[in-house]
Chains A and B, each alone.
Chain A
Amino acid sequence: MASKPDEQDAISAEAQVSPLIEDGQTGPAPAERPGHLAALRVIFQEERFFLILSVFIGVFSGLAVVCFRFSIDWCRIYLLGTGTQLSPARLFLAPTLAGLVIAVLVIHVFPLARGSGVNQTKAALYIFNGYIPFRTAVGKFITSALAIGSGFSLGPEDPSLQIGACIASAIGSRMKLSRDRMRLIAPVGAAAGLAAAFNAPISAVLFVIEEVIGRWTAGILGSVVLSAISSVVVTRWFLGSESMFRIPPVEMRRPSELIAYAVLGIIGGVASVAFAGGITYLRPRFKAMAPWTHYVQPAVAGLLIGLIGYLGAPQVMGAGYEYMDEAIHGQFTWQFLAILAGLKILATLLSFVSGTPGGMFAPTLFIGAMLGAAVGGAEHAILPHIAFSPGTYALVGMGVLFAGFLRAPMTSVFMVLEVSGNYSIILPVIVANTFAYVIARALQPAAIFDVLTRQDGLELPSMEEQREENVLRVEDAMRPPGNTLVNGDDSVEHLARLIEATDGDALLVRLKPLGWSNVSREEINAWLEEGKASEPVGSLLPVGSMFKDRQVPSLHPDHPLDMSLRYVDRWKIVPVVNRANLRELEGVITQRDVLDRYRDFGGE
């Protein structure tokens, strides 16, 4: 039904204003339509419930991690003894026998407990819809506590992360959460587990976002933060709130001292590559060995680690936090620190590639601390005028290895700040980490977690690649409107002439004050046949609520191109307007433009 031009003015401005697509939104939400109110309520209720659930996940994960810590310490006391001077019998027997037990448990009872736990959590997110069998948590708890407690060079953080994820998954399964929520619940638990293990909620949140989920969204961030904080509160309740390490404030006498830290970053980057390269090379070879060898691989690894301890470096056994503290307090010469870093790489390689469950975080920090203090000590020996504090270099070294080996650059910075409670160290950390990350990235393109998943035959998204991949935007595909743009007061006859001159099937109509619509070639021909050639096209468009179906939403140039796909199928020409001036048309985009751009991008 046609309406007069003056009637067009009567169309409410609200109806004429073209809906603008806000970032991350999809234009008119389905929930706004009648019949979807109940669904909307469900979404809100589930979201609220999910947040509350996150707190419980944090509490349960915190409790589990506290018990895990107790178990590790008890294992160490009963297997290796209470003193720092270990008897040779214990040095050899404890890790060897524990290795045999662990092998049997991992092969026959808890096959999913193998590995560090980070990739398993990612797999749960991307492959198993957030589901991780609770048995995995039990297995991880027992085998990792036994391994770390008996002296294997592994850490409790990654297992804690996986235990947290398992607990979250178990709770989510019981609650029969929707599939989307179930997928997200494992990372929420992972953040809680890691935060409890590290006593560092910010680093845990960042790590999970950076390495597991790979994207920042408000919905998941709230849950991750809540679970991390609640788990840390529980952990601190039982284990105290002291920072993991205490170092004096850093005093930079001259900005040129940053060069010394840059050197540490370079050496740390190379060490990270060597460490990761060792795992990349050895792990598939150990896995490919005859099946019976899998029963003895952890035992042999344990025996060799015991030998390292017997030969004078028992510091490499276990997680080694107390020795990191000693390195921070300058208890070792720089030469011995360098040896410890090398031996720890060896011990961790043996522990990890033999399939013993346990984490990589603590060994990474250990190697970094020793390497950092060694490099600092060597620099000071060569250039005595350089201010040297072993604690500072050890701490920066931890960040360096974290950035270079685990490839979590942002987490590496915050982790160092959080575990030391010292923010004066930030500048050296950023400088050194940047060098380490860039060198590690250049020398070994795939991050260690990506390598491990590919070795396991899984194809999980690489967070590092995701971070660095180019995102196509609307501005990459849009084109100038040219003669496809008409105004609402242009006559049908004018439109007919324009559309004849183009090869398109539709024209974009600008309506006052801010509305946009499409008019197709068929519509124009129909109006011509009805004798409406001289009438303004705006008057021929429907009014009121019916206009909503004809209203074309507008995009902005910086919107991701993916977003435009939702509209170019329904509307033939979609306007792209300026964010600062919604009346200013910057271009138009069609389905053809989008597809052409994607095709070209694939070629690039």
Chain B
Amino acid sequence: MFEPQGRVHGPLYFHREVVTLTLLTGLAAVLFIGVTALSQLYHAQQGALADRWAARGTSDLNAGRFMQAAGDFRTALRYSRDSYSSELGLAEALIGEKRIPEAETYLIALWEQQPENGVVNRSLARIAAGKGDTRNALRYYHNAIYAHWTGDPERERRSTRWELIKYLLSTKATAPAQSELISLAAEVGDDPAQQVEMGRYFLKVQDGDHALTAFRLRLQGSPHDAEALAGAGTAAFEMGNYELAEGYLRSAINEAPGDRDSAALLETTEQVLRLDPFRRQISDAERDQAVEGAFEVAGGRLKSCLAAANSQQTAEAPETLEQAWDKLKPQVTDRSLRRNQDIVNQSMNLAFAIEREAGTRCGAGTPADAALLLISKLHEGS
């Protein structure tokens, strides 16, 4: 094309340049078409191989053959390097193999590609939770709750929130767990199927009010659901609503006579109702009877605790309480109680003091002792 300088001819030169470039362009176009055809063939084959290995990986993963699944997904990634689903499958297989650090590396890479992916966020949250990294666990769980999910997003979100609640409870973070439960209750709505579980977790975070609501929702549809009845009784008990608790617990035992927890709780409830003189709408006789009963229970508790304490050569205070109890005992009669309201208060205050002290020194007592402690908590502030 370019000849020695002496033989240069301008127009001819220009002409040849244009012809050459035209020919090169034509050749490039032809080659481009040829390589495009090859490329389609290549990518179709690679895609088919990737799909085949990914399907095999998914099948192995579902069957719990994690090692094989990891190998399958790795092969799939060889043919489709950017396949998000294969990479995610590999990460899940690695988690199954308990190769958590390796899985985490893949998951972080996936998270960077799609920070809004629910599965990735939940997996990262589980890994962080397993490592005790609460900050990241909460971050990823919250991401997962508000993330994008395929299939049934609502179900996935609810299940993720459940996981978060369980994780929070495992870390004794009851207040955040209660908040999450309240949010979950709003998502669940009136679905009776989930109310028992909801109520049970509300009880765990000591939110009797929401627990009772949940169990009642369940009972609307299934009035004889023993678990819901027992839960509602427990919730009412926690709230201090012993009359209500007694009803639910009694029904629960009727439905499931072998429910010992409910039976124990019912016994305590009955004792509370029997020994609480401050209940409203009770007669004077009932009140006097409750005071006398409480005073006797406390006395019994004092004696048994003192005997145990003497055997260990400790406890001076019970002796003082015993003197006080002996001193007040003659005044705790129907007549005195009816004449002097102060004796009611003195008797009950002494009974509460005895129970607290005995609880500290001698551990748990009878249901009646537990009932007195509950009554003290219920009324002492007022």
Contacts and interface: CB of A to CB of B under 8 A. Distances in A.
Contact of A56 (B2, B28, B38): B28
Interface in A49-71: 49, 52-53, 56, 59-60, 63, 66-67, 70
Given A63-B35, A73-B42, A329-B102, A178 B71 contact: no
A26 interface: no
B298 to A, nearest CB: 58
A177 B2 contact: yes
Interface string B9-22: 01001100100110
B32 A63 contact: yes
Interface string A447-465: 0000000000000000000
Contacts of B53: 82-83
| Tier of interface size on chain A | 35 or more
A45 B13 contact: yes
A176 interface: yes
Contacts of A46: 2
A281 B75 CA distance: 37
B109 A176 contact: no
B75 A66 contact: no
B175 interface: no
A84 interface: yes
Interface string A25-57: 000000000000011011001100100110010
B105 A390 contact: yes
Nearest to B17: A49
Contacts of B323: none
Q: Which of A74, A242, A246, A331 has the most CB of B within 10 A?
A: A331
Interface string A112-129: 000000000000000000
Contacts of B105: 329-331, 390-391
Contact of B39 (A41, A42, A66, A176): A66
Contact of A66 (B21, B35, B45, B49): B35
Given A42-B2, A63-B35, A330-B105, A82 B8 contact: no
A326 interface: yes
B112 interface: yes
B24 A181 contact: no
Contacts of A39: 5, 8
Contacts of A70: 38-39, 42
Interface string B71-109: 100110111011000000000000000000110011011
Q: Is chain A's binding surface mostly helix, strand, loop or mixed? A: helix
Interface string B49-77: 10001000000000000000001001101
Interface string A252-293: 000000000000000000000000000000000000000000
B186 interface: no
B31 A322 contact: no
A401 B17 CA distance: 45
Contacts of A49: 1-2, 17
Contact of A82 (B25, B27, B49, B74): B49
Interface in A91-150: none
B102 A330 contact: yes
B128 to A, nearest CB: 16
A24 B151 CA distance: 68
B316 interface: no
Nearest to B82: A242
B81 A242 contact: yes
A89 interface: no
A85 interface: yes
B2 A175 contact: yes
A535 B108 CA distance: 89
Contact of A329 (B78, B79, B106): B106
B40 to A, nearest CB: 10
B49 A42 contact: no
A176 B3 contact: yes
Contacts of B102: 329-331
A238 interface: yes
Contacts of B39: 66, 70, 238
Nearest to A85: B71
A219 interface: no
A513 interface: no
Given A42-B8, A70-B39, A322 B77 contact: yes
A39 B39 CA distance: 45
Contacts of A178: 2
Interface string A197-233: 0000000000000000000000000000000000000
B25 to A, nearest CB: 8
A482 interface: no
A248 interface: yes
Interface residues of B, number: 41
Interface string A319-337: 0001001100111000000
Contacts of B21: 52
A240 interface: yes
Contacts of B77: 322
Given A67-B35, A70-B38, A248-B109, A176 B5 contact: no
A84 B57 CA distance: 13
Contacts of B81: 242, 322, 325
A454 B2 CA distance: 35
B24 to A, nearest CB: 5
A42 B71 CA distance: 61
Given A178-B2, A330-B102, A60 B74 contact: no
B109 A246 contact: yes
B254 to A, nearest CB: 59
A60 B38 contact: no
A229 to B, nearest CB: 15
Given A82-B49, A84-B74, A240 B10 contact: no
A238 B101 CA distance: 34
A546 to B, nearest CB: 28
A3 to B, nearest CB: 38
Interface in A170-193: 171, 175-178, 181
Contacts of B20: 175
A317 B325 CA distance: 90
A84 B35 contact: no
A238 B2 contact: no
Contacts of A175: 1-2, 20
A597 to B, nearest CB: 35
A84 B5 contact: no
A45 B38 CA distance: 37
Given A52-B21, A326-B74, A38 B5 contact: yes
Given A42-B2, A329-B105, 15 more contacts: A49-B2, A56-B24, A59-B28, A67-B38, A73-B46, A82-B75, A84-B71, A84-B74, A84-B78, A85-B71, A175-B1, A246-B109, A322-B81, A326-B74, A330-B102
Interface of A: 38-39, 41-42, 45-46, 49, 52-53, 56, 59-60, 63, 66-67, 70, 73-74, 77, 82-85, 171, 175-178, 181, 238, 240, 242, 246, 248, 322, 325-326, 329-331, 390-391
Interface of B: 1-3, 5, 8, 10, 13-14, 17, 20-21, 24-25, 27-28, 31-32, 35-36, 38-39, 42, 45-46, 49, 53, 71, 74-75, 77-79, 81-82, 101-102, 105-106, 108-109, 112
5 closest A-B pairs by CB: A175-B1, A330-B105, A329-B105, A39-B5, A238-B39
7 contacts: A52-B21, A56-B28, A63-B28, A67-B38, A84-B78, A325-B81, A331-B105
